[in-house]
Amino acid sequence: MNNQSSSIERTPLKTSALLLKFLGSMNLAITLLVALSVSSIIGTVLQQNQPYTDYIIKFGPFWFEVFKQIGLYDVYSSSWFLFILFFLVLSTSTCIYRNAPNMLREMREYRQTIQLKTLENYSNSHTWELSQSTTDAKHVAESLFKHNGFSSRLKEGDSNTLVAGMKGGGSRLGYLLTHLAIVFICIGGLIDGNAILKAREMLGQIVPETRNIPASEVPKISHLGLNNLSFRGSVSVPEGSRTDVLFINYKDGYLVQGLPFSVEVKDFRIEHYDSGQPKSFESDLLIHDDRLEKPLEQTISVNYPLIYDGYSIYQASFSDGGSELEFLTWPLKGVNEESKKIKIRVGDDLPMTLFNESWILEMSNFRLFNINPSDDPSKKFKNDGPSVQFKMRNKTGEAKEFVNYMVPVERDGAYYYLSGVRSSPAEEFRYLYIPMDDAGSINRFMKYLHALNDKEVLQKIAAKQNFSGSSLPSNDAAKLNEAMIRLAGLFAENGMEGVIKQVEESVPQDKREEVTELYVRVLQQMLGAVYVEVLMDEGVDVSLGVDEGKAAFFDAASAAIGAIGRYGSPVYFQLSSFVHKQASGLQIAKAPGKNLVYPGCAMLILGVFLMFYAPQQRLWVWLEPTDDGVKFVLAGHAIRNKMDFEQQYEKIQAQFDRVLTS
């Protein structure tokens, strides 16, 4: 019974010993370091903490969801990455616990219990038979040890004297420093890796906000207090404004982080290259804090942050700060609809009622410069001027995104007002080219478009046309005119696609080709007649026809009208004036873990240096009296860099040989 009890009591000790051995094993440490390295490569190659829409566009819905579940979009804060760090800390700490006492003891241990047989079996060993006294030989050994940088200890035995020397005792300290460095760096990574944030989320204390709402409306459960140890977030601050919060991208939403002070952007400046591309940008910041007698003022730029009270404020980007925009709204359907002026700021939404339908204009961005490749061989880039980006959302919530340029853009020798449209960010913009008239405006185009929507104008023009000899379905003049008017209206509303669709729905298949050709011929004549009527209203003399420029305008205008059916907005927004306001994109970080990471890096460098460039080396001199004098045995040993030590030993042996035999 007693033996069995002893066995049962020792079992937990054996289990704990096995656990310590496993945690402190080299294989586990290497496995964790490899996993950490692979994870870091992924986090470096794949840009982190971007909006989820960017990843959906890049990888597609399936792989986006797979990578999201794995946590690749925020590798350094993912649960599995933090688990690797934690386990590496545990493993390395166990290794230190198990081996540090022996290493520290070995640093001070001169191995004075070594035996003569062991010394003689070393490859670096030599024996002299001397006639000097033991005292003289001992003095030589101590002097040459000191001369070669070896500290020594003397041990007197019953029948022998041992002089033990050691150099590079700090090599073992290098092992301890490298292991401690790993612990420090990993703990710093855990502190700055949002481990506490994830724990709070698991406990239901925080929930990321996914709606695009002002910070003041974000619920408290999505707010982080001033006691949050570590974070990195961003905020866009317009010139002349201040903020005491920032936003942390978290999973598919964001969290609002409070600051114990407010940051004001006093002024934002940006320099451009000749091409118009950004060259450099900087912000004049004011830090408002009740603890300060007066606001702290400092200019920041890229790579030159403001450090205040443990917070690092970086110049990260720039954006529009709520520019004031004025538009002319040109109706794309209806009769004699005049343009109206509207004013809106970037970032605002404007409800509108257009043709008895509800719309919302969502102004998202203004760009002062648009740099594109130049068609001129002498210039690499060209600046296409200001543009605005916005969405038009209908009553069902469906939206199309638009980008409109303020100044005309040249294309094949002609100038056009460009308006791009797309249904989702995954698509490329498709452009509507509205030709510029002789006065540099779009007035002629709009008059032409409205004339095609004006039934009275079309009736007057149709009456002037002679189609009596045509083979339309009816030879009745009134019906013929009505068909022409419907055809022109159909084109103005839905383009050629609408005309072809009408033919497919109303004409037998065996006659569709013939009727389509006839419709196109009649439509071209009708469009030309309407265009001539517009020119005559402008006072243009068309008695001798139209010149080449006006003919080209007719072709471009007709092509643009044919595309309006796919445009997606009932009006065209022409930017007429603006007051540009910029915003500074700031990134604010609090990373107390760096106070451990930086010393850890220094310890790692020092530890590696001690291990590789200050290896531990040992020398022994065994002195044993003989009948003729003294037996002198010199031996040396090193764990690392044995070839270098062998060369050094040969030099030391030669020194001993010269002194002892002289």
48-99 tens-digit pLDDT: 777 777 788 888 888 888 888 888 888 877 888 888 888 899 989 988 888 8
Q: Which of 233, 252, 254 is nearest to 56 (CA)?
A: 252
Same domain, 558 and 634: no
Q: 142-180, pLDDT tens digit by residue?
A: 999 999 999 999 999 888 999 999 988 777 888 889 999
- Identify whether 470 is part of a domain: yes
- What is the domain range of residue 502? 446-573
Which of residues 542, 573, 604 is at a domain's end?
573
**pLDDT band at residue 293 using 50, 70 and 90 as cut-offs:** very high
Cite the beta strand spans of 273-335 per DSSP E. 278-288, 296-301, 306-308, 311-320, 324-331
Same domain, 414 and 472: no
- Identify whether 5 is part of a domain: no
Task: List the structure tokens of 137.
Answer: 């030989």
With H, G, I as helix, E, B as strand and everything else as coil, classify residue 412: coil
Higher pLDDT, 472 or 118: 118
Say if residues 375 and 393 touch (Cβ distance below 8 Å). Answer: no
Say if residues 314 and 588 touch (Cβ distance below 8 Å). Answer: yes
- Identify whether 197 is part of a domain: no
Same domain, 467 and 429: no
Rounded distance between C-alpha atoms, residue 76 and residue 44, angstroms:
10
Q: How far from the centroid of its chain's Cα atoms is residue 87's Cα?
A: 28
Same domain, 297 and 352: no
**pLDDT band at residue 8 using 50, 70 and 90 as cut-offs:** very low
- Identify whether 7 is part of a domain: no
Rounded distance between C-alpha atoms, residue 376 and residue 384, angstroms:
13
With H, G, I as helix, E, B as strand and everything else as coil, classify residue 305: coil
- Identify whether 604 is part of a domain: no
Same domain, 467 and 503: yes
Rounded distance between C-alpha atoms, residue 304 and residue 299, angstroms:
9
Does pLDDT of 642 surpass 70? yes
- Identify whether 1 is part of a domain: no
Does pLDDT of 195 surpass 60? yes
- Identify whether 346 is part of a domain: yes
Residue 442 carries which DSSP code? S
Q: What is the pLDDT of residue 204?
A: 86
Please report how the helices 455-464 and 512-537 are oriented relative to each other, as an axis angle in degrees rounded to 10: 100
In the predicted model, what is the mean pLDDT of the chain?
A: 86
Rounded distance between C-alpha atoms, residue 202 and residue 221, angstroms:
13
**pLDDT band at residue 276 using 50, 70 and 90 as cut-offs:** low
Indicate which CATH number applies to the domain containing 159: 3.30.310
Rounded distance between C-alpha atoms, residue 166 and residue 107, angstroms:
9
Rounded distance between C-alpha atoms, residue 338 and residue 342, angstroms:
13
Residues in a beta bridge with 126: 634
| Torsion angles phi and psi, residue 420, rounded to 5 | -95, 150
- Identify whether 313 is part of a domain: yes
The DSSP line for 528-580 is HHHHHHHHHHTT---TT---HHHHHHHHHHHHHHHHGGGT--SEEEEEEEEE-
Which of residues 546, 573, 600 is at a domain's end?
573
Residue 368 carries which DSSP code? S
b/e 532-560 (16+ beta carbons within 10 angstroms → b): bbbbeeeeeeeeeebeeebeebbebbbeb
Rounded distance between C-alpha atoms, residue 422 and residue 223, angstroms:
35
Q: What is the pLDDT of residue 498?
A: 74
With H, G, I as helix, E, B as strand and everything else as coil, classify residue 168: coil
Say if residues 656 and 197 touch (Cβ distance below 8 Å). Answer: no
- Mean pLDDT along residues 528-534: 88
Count of structural domains within the chain? 5
- Mean pLDDT along residues 181-187: 90
Same domain, 423 and 349: yes
- What distance separates the 2 farthest-apart alpha carbons in the chain? 148
Rounded distance between C-alpha atoms, residue 9 and residue 505, angstroms:
93
- Please give, one letter per residue, the 3-state secondary structure of 77-138: HCHHHHHHHHHHHHHHHHHHHHHHHHHHHHHHCCCCCCCHHHHHHCCCEEEEEECCCHHHHH
Rounded distance between C-alpha atoms, residue 218 and residue 209, angstroms:
7
**pLDDT band at residue 478 using 50, 70 and 90 as cut-offs:** low
Say if residues 296 and 287 touch (Cβ distance below 8 Å). Answer: yes
Q: 12-44, pLDDT tens digit by residue?
A: 556 777 777 888 788 888 888 888 888 888 888
Same domain, 451 and 551: yes
Task: List the structure tokens of 549.
Answer: 């420029």
Does pLDDT of 461 surpass 70? yes
Say if residues 300 and 285 touch (Cβ distance below 8 Å). Answer: yes
Q: 118-146, pLDDT tens digit by residue?
A: 999 999 999 999 888 888 899 999 999 99
H helical segments located in 109-246 = 116-121, 134-147, 170-192, 195-202
% of residues, the chain, pLDDT over 90: 41
Same domain, 311 and 453: no
**pLDDT band at residue 618 using 50, 70 and 90 as cut-offs:** very high
Same domain, 400 and 361: yes
Does pLDDT of 404 surpass 50? yes
Same domain, 50 and 80: yes
Residue 304 carries which DSSP code? B
Rounded distance between C-alpha atoms, residue 254 and residue 223, angstroms:
9
Which of residues 417, 440, 463 is at a domain's end?
440
Burial of 1 (0-12, 13-18, 19+ CB in 10 A): exposed
Q: How many CB atoms lie within 10 A of CB 98?
A: 14
Same domain, 522 and 627: no
Same domain, 293 and 434: no
Rounded distance between C-alpha atoms, residue 314 and residue 298, angstroms:
12
Q: What is the pLDDT of residue 619?
A: 94
Rounded distance between C-alpha atoms, residue 367 and residue 407, angstroms:
13
Q: 206-258, pLDDT tens digit by residue?
A: 999 988 888 889 999 999 989 888 888 999 999 999 999 999 988 778 999 99
